[in-house]
Amino acid sequence: MSKSLVIVESPAKAKTINKFLGKDFVVKASVGHVKDLPKSKLGVDIENNFSPHYEVIKGKAKVIAELKKYAKTADNIYLAPDPDREGEAIAWHIAEEVDGKGKKVYRVLFNEITEKGVTEAIKNPASLDRNKFEAQQARRILDRLVGYQVSPILWEKVRRGLSAGRVQSVTVRLVCEREREIKAFVPQEYWSITAELKNEEAGGKEGQGASFKAKLIKRDNKKIELKDEEETNKVLQEIEGKDFVVRDVEKKERKRNPLPPFITSKLQQDAARKLGFTAKKTMMLAQQLYEGIELGEHGSVGLITYMRTDSTRVSADAVKDARVYIYAKFGREYLPAKPNAYQGKKGAQDAHEAIRPTYFEYPPDLVKKYLSKDHFHLYQLIWNRFVASQMLPAIIDQTVVSIGADRYIFQANGSVIRFPGFTAVYTEGGTHLENGSDEEEDAEKLPLLEKNDILNVLGIMPKQHFTQPPPRFTEATLIKELEELGIGRPSTYAPTLSTIQDREYVVKEKNQFVPTELGFIVTDLLVKSFPDILNVEFTAHMEEDLDMIEDGRLNWLDAMKEFYTPFKNSLERARVEMKDVKREETATGIKCEKCGKVMVIKWGRNGRFIACSGYPECKNTKEYSTDENGNIKAVENISEKTDEKCPNCGKPMVIKTGRFGRFLACSHYPQCKTAKPLSMGVKCPVEGCGGEMVERQSKKKKIFYSCSDYPKCKYALWDKPVSENCPECGFKILTEKGTKSGMIIKCPNEGCKYNREQ
């Protein structure tokens, strides 16, 4: 008897779906894309309507052969890759490869991997979506045209291995521009005055014994700004000895509404803030939660809906399940009379629901024992946000007290949560509130105060402040910026942030993105030569065009032609006019000690260095430093003997400092040129990796530690590794870091809070 063939992307999803469909179905996985543009060439025939040349991805011939075998005997073929543009492209390419002649080929979309979701999708299949496929194809070709035609120019002018991209290059530009804002920022002095007050006038009144603080806000009913100490002292003199009298007490009820369930970008932002996850890690964990996790006797269960979405829409069944859960767990008083509904953002694609739990019989605490620590924390975050989205608002009693001191007005604010509402389940907290507020809802409670109360002054505290520069981007804030500017889509944020780090355009310092010298150089070159590609509005417009192609409102070829004509002109100019950083030399005034010629600043693979202008006859090179006056000074290499012997000649190994930081080298150099990274004596903690942690130096001359098996293993740390297992999570190493209060030992495993003083 023939069976129907269902083709999904991942083996994990295939396993979960298989148990729902029964013996009449065979479920197989394509393991991602099966065809793509070739790696070795452009693969786009620009002169022939941008016709792409797809080829089978290396290693996928065997997968395609297996799918063809099952397709031959199947009555029906259901193509079920992920329900987005990438998934649609995979479905089209599979359809082209498997022999579907005479067979019924359908496209099915699984928004959730549940029995109901899967069986309903199979019962109501659709056709392949040409518009969605063409939108993905247009994006792929655009990215290929930019990457494969701009990158070689960077190889020629800067160094090999660099890349450019529509979204990635704009993202690096944002980081560079923010850094320049920070460097150009000039702090402005300002002062504040705070009074510590107490009401003892009517001591019998309950709550009047506590002291509280009030801040100076007005003079003569106008906002006051104190620019320096002199101005501040004048105010202090004026209010000295004056009565502080309560002029007004305003009490009002404020509601804080719950937030909508997660869309992709908000999940990435919250996971970064609360769990310390990178966007890449968040999406990997979410993909696994969506495809299915083994829950003991329950088998493989898809715990969340599809994780790439920018819609806040949820199904009526899901809302009903949430309301039943809230009623049972929290009571009727937490449940709104009608379900909460949320307005989607402008331009949001509404094909998929928001990210939410699929089964309410699997609350986080019940399945915790089956999940890894990271899976549990992310699942709990998604669960709590969705439950909270269907609860009543929090009700806050807010009190604002105005206190007069002659012509000056001080203000005290207090708030008390009268009803926690949704905050019983979920809060963002601190300065990360999405409604723009930076208030802390647990602010101290003010004592009981009434109009005309005369207050005792316990102290007047002037304080000097300085305005702060804009903060560097974190993963959360950079994703938020990209989202607000309309750059990229839910599926592109994580790979973009990974790529700009892999290309060494930016590095992370204390979880903040800092552009490297290379990032600045490449950005400046691209901004000058490709102003459109590096333009935020232009990039956002291209994203809108892709959405219009998907909706059938724009022909993909028209979009390509509109893009390529000006781009081609920029390409031709850039090949001729772009500054050749590789060959650029700047004289230093320092003489080469080997041949007497002038040393010049050059750009190399590892940044700027000074070299003899007599190259190639003289190959003398050195690191250099620049003092505050811009004077250049050569940095001599130093060496330090160790007990380790050279494995090749037996001479002592020495620690040297070069362009790459410290390393071990044979003391018998140049006769013996043996060298290797400086090992920390700590094994790499990545499962299955046999490398060890070694000391390296970043482009900004900062020490870090990474696996000796790089680039195969990319594990790296800023803090010095220690060969000790974490007593809380079992991670294979700890790290040590010096602080003002001493040495701190902590666990580098994301999500683990273990730390101790040494």
Which residues participate in catalysis according to the annotation? 306
Supply the DSSP symbol for 431.
Answer: G
Interatomic CA distance for residues 463 and 309, integer angstroms: 47
Residues 199/205/206/211 CA torsion (nearest 10 deg): 0
Strands (E), 261-407: 293-294, 300-301, 394-405
Interatomic CA distance for residues 535 and 163, integer angstroms: 17
Report H helices in 355-454.
Answer: 364-367, 373-389
Altogether, the residues listed in the chain come to a count of 758
Token reading at 118:
């899967």
Which amino acid would we find at residue 442? D
Interatomic CA distance for residues 179 and 469, integer angstroms: 10
Interatomic CA distance for residues 165 and 153, integer angstroms: 13
Interatomic CA distance for residues 60 and 36, integer angstroms: 11
- Are 377 and 275 in contact, with CB atoms under 8 Å apart? yes
- Are 166 and 542 in contact, with CB atoms under 8 Å apart? yes
Residues 290/296/298/302 CA torsion (nearest 10 deg): 0
Residue 334 CA to its chain's centroid (Å): 33
Which amino acid would we find at residue 465? H
Phi-psi region of 517 (alpha: psi -120 to 50; beta: other; left: phi over 0): alpha
Would you list the DSSP string of 576-638? HHS--TTT--EEEEEEPTTT-PEEEEEEETTEEEEEETTTTT---EEEEEE-TT--EEEE---
* Residue 616 C-beta-side C-alpha neighbours within 13 Å: 0
Interatomic CA distance for residues 436 and 433, integer angstroms: 6
Interatomic CA distance for residues 103 and 74, integer angstroms: 8
Radius of gyration of the CA atoms of the chain, in A: 31
Interatomic CA distance for residues 90 and 102, integer angstroms: 21
Interatomic CA distance for residues 348 and 602, integer angstroms: 48
Give the CA distances from residue 259 to residues 275, 306, 357, 387, 430, in Å, rounded to whole numbers and listed in that order: 19, 19, 16, 10, 15
